[in-house]
Amino acid sequence: MTLSDTLIELRDVDFSRGDRPIFRDLNLTIRSGEVTAIMGPSGTGKTTLLQLITRQLSPDSGQVFVAGDDIARYGISELYRMRQRMGMLFQNGALLTDMSVFENVAFPLREHTKLGERLIRNVVLLKLQAVGLRGAAGLMPSELSGGMARRVALARAIVMDPALLIYDEPFVGLDPISMGVIAKLIRQLNDALGITSIVVSHDVKEIGEVADYSYVIADGKVAASGRPAQLRNEPSELVRQFMLGLADGPVAFHYDAPDIEEQFIGSKPD
Amino acid sequence: MFHDIWKTFLGFLQGFGAMSLFFLRLLQYTPAVLVTRFRLVFYQVYNAGALSIVIIMVCGLFVGGVLGLQAYSNLERFNAEDTTGIFAGFALIKEIGPVITALLFAGRAGTALASEIGLMKATDQLSAMEMMAVDPLRYVAVPRFLGGVISVPLLTAIFTTIGLLGSHLVAVELLGVDVGAYWQQLQNALDMEDVMEGIYKSITFGIIASLLAVWEGYNSVPTAEGVGRATTRTVVITAIAVLIFDFMITAWIL
Ligand SMILES: Nc1ncnc2c1ncn2[C@@H]1O[C@H](COP(=O)(O)OP(=O)(O)O)[C@@H](O)[C@H]1O
Ligand SMILES: [Mg+2]
């Protein structure tokens, strides 16, 4: 693999929250131009991984490379320049509640460019058109449904023409139609804009249809990786449990509890 | 037990240190924000002021009125009811105006600021700004802080003025103190220093109340419960801090 087709690389990354290790020796690469899925049970650290890639958090040890640079070395202005090349879709959109849909999408342009009002208007409406919400420009975030809010956030994420789009759980809490719309948009934007996409999800079915490559994260490590079709034939118990949605397996259905007989009978009043 | 007290004390010092650092960062960004984002600051002055002005006026009127009543009923016994204006006026200008305004501001605008910022944090709006390469400290925290710092002295002036009017209404219109004596006595007794004391206090309290509100919101635990707790803490801690500083400033000036 040449350097040019690797956009992001995590090398031997360790990260803990307090005393609790989240990642140990995590190694992972994201290739340019592809849609890469990050899958795994809730609480395994998928969001944390995204925060490491964008340097909202820094690893305890190990390195994160973006476009060949070790981002730990970046000063604040370089970091902000890097983030301007990234668009991130937060789980619930994270639209700024005190401005309209139009102003939300215009926000990065107003902050980082000196474009005139006419040009801003055209760019914003164009991006809203791309997510099918040009007609919603005048609404406030509180007037949007969950799916719409996420699409507006997507328009905002692409307004600066980023090279990388990051989606954190884009399907959670959406109805099947909105899910399909978002999945289609992820694929479309990736190919039409010629960018790279990272999609965090535990929705095996939806993500399987759009991802070029997938990682399954469990217990602080990459448990499996490959094309989505390959993963379905993965021998690992844990990956099978996850991919097929089985209730019991290496990830137990029961949370640790005292012995059942002892607890029920022991507490019987006499 | 001593170990617990020691740990609490260390925790307090740690929190105080972190807050001081936060305060310095707010101050560091203040000039740039005033120049490039004045619109945001102006909006926050309007916002904080608009939230608090009605309650400030109503409370000012009644607090002034009760001061007039109390001063009159005591002074009357010494046939000194003409000096009612002095007592009510001094109390309002030097103590009650700045203190009660700060407490009312904390209860109305401070809680709103803390919960607003806390909710922005809980809904990832602050992280989203970070990811859009916009520093939320500059965009969210500093304008709200400055809005409060500017509003509190203005609100204090309004409270005190209405308070004087309230005590006038009670003393002059209701209890029959001579209107000339009421205002003349106050004017003669009042020095510039007394007024300055009130102004110093209102500026200090404005900084305290705004800093604590923004700090609590910014550092709230990003859950519904955490935001609620931050809101409550804003009122409680501001009240304690304002009363302590009031004592210290008074002791220092006298
Ligand atoms: N701000 C935080 N402080 C402490 N622990 C956290 C914080 N955010 C997440 N965690 C913990 O870190 C673990 C990984 O979280 P996260 O990356 O959000 O998981 P995922 O996105 O895979 O569901 C979780 O167990 C969570 O409880
Ligand atoms: Mg997550």
- Give the contacts of B120 (CB within 8 A, at least 6 positions apart): A96, A97, B126, B136, B140, B217
Cβ atoms of residues A124 and A105 within 8 Å: yes
Q: At residue B203, does pLDDT exceed 70?
A: yes
The residue in chain B having the minimum alpha-carbon distance to the alpha carbon of residue A153 is: B128
Each residue's pLDDT tens digit, B28-39: 999 999 998 899
Residue A44 Cβ contacting ligand 1 at under 6 Å: yes
pLDDT for B148: 96
Residue A60 in 3-state DSSP?
A: coil
Across chain B, mean pLDDT equals: 93
Atom of ligand 1 nearest to the CA of A51: 17
Contacts of A94 in chain B (CB under 8 A): 123-125, 127-128
Name the more confident of A220 and B97: B97
Model confidence over B179-191: pLDDT tens digits? 898 899 888 888 9
Predicted confidence band of residue A270 (pLDDT cuts 50, 70, 90): low
Yes or no, beta carbons of A92 and B124 under 8 Å apart: yes
Chains A and B form CB pairs within 8 A to the count of: 47
Per-residue pLDDT band at A45 (split at 50, 70, 90): very high
A20-31, strands of its sheet edge to edge: A20-31, A6-17, A61-66, A69-70
Give yes or no for residue A184 CB within 6 A of ligand 1.
no
Which of A13-22, A248-257, B122-131, B230-239 has the lowest average pLDDT?
Answer: A248-257
Q: Could you read off the pLDDT of B145-172 as tens digits, one per residue?
A: 999 999 999 999 999 999 999 999 999 9
Quick: pLDDT tens for A206-245. Answer: 888 889 999 989 888 898 888 877 877 776 777 777 777 7
CA distance A197 to A64: 17
The distance of B122 to chain A (nearest Cα, Å) reads 9
pLDDT band at A2 (very low <50, low <70, confident <90, very high): very low
Q: Do A81 and B127 touch (CB under 8 A)?
A: no
Q: Which of A47, A58, A242 to mutate to test the pocket of ligand 1 (most atoms within 8 A of CB)?
A: A47
Amino acid at A252: A
Structure tokens at A215: 């990682």
Longest CA–CA span in chain A (Å) reads: 81
DSSP chain B: -HHHHHHHHHHHHHHHHHHHHHHHHHHHHHHHHHHH-HHHHHHHHHHHHHHHHHHHHHHHHHHHHHHHHHHHHHHGGGT-GGGHHHHHHHIIIIIIHHHHHHHHHIIIIIHHHHHHHHHHHHTTHHHHHHHTT--HIIIIIHHHHHHHHHHHHHHHHHHHHHHHHHHHIIIIIIT---HHHHHHHHHHH--HHHHHHHHHHHHHHHHHHHHHHHHHHHTS-SSHHHHHHHHHHHHHHHHHHHHHHHHHHHHHH-
**Range B2-20 average pLDDT:** 89
* Percent of chain A at pLDDT exceeding 90: 60
Give the model's pLDDT for residue A3: 44
Best of A15, A17, A57, A242 for a ligand 1 pocket test (most atoms within 8 Å of beta carbon): A17
Judge whether residue A251 has pLDDT over 60.
yes
Residue A252 has pLDDT above 70, yes or no: no
Higher pLDDT residue, A256 or B245? B245
Would you list the domain boundaries of chain B? 2-253
Closest residue, chain A, to B119 (C-alpha): A97
Rounded to two decimals, the ipTM of the complex is 0.84
Q: Chain B residues with CB inside 8 Å of A91's CB? A: 124
A46 lines ligand 1 (CB under 6 A): yes
Option in B123, B124, B133 nearest A83 (CB)? B133
pTM score, whole prediction: 0.86
Kindly give the number of the ligand 1 atom that is closest to the alpha carbon of A44: 22
Summarize pLDDT for A162-203 with one digit per residue, the tens: 999 999 999 888 888 888 888 988 999 999 989 999 999 887
Q: How many Å apart are CA A75 and CA A94, to the nearest integer?
A: 26
Residues A11-25, mean pLDDT to the nearest whole number: 92
A chain contacts of residue B124, beta-carbon cutoff 8 Å: 90-92, 94
Query: Quick check: CB of A176 below 6 Å from ligand 1?
Result: no
Is residue A63 lining ligand 1, measured as CB closer than 6 Å?
no
A50-58: average pLDDT = 94
Which residue lies with its CA nearest to atom 26 of ligand 1? A43
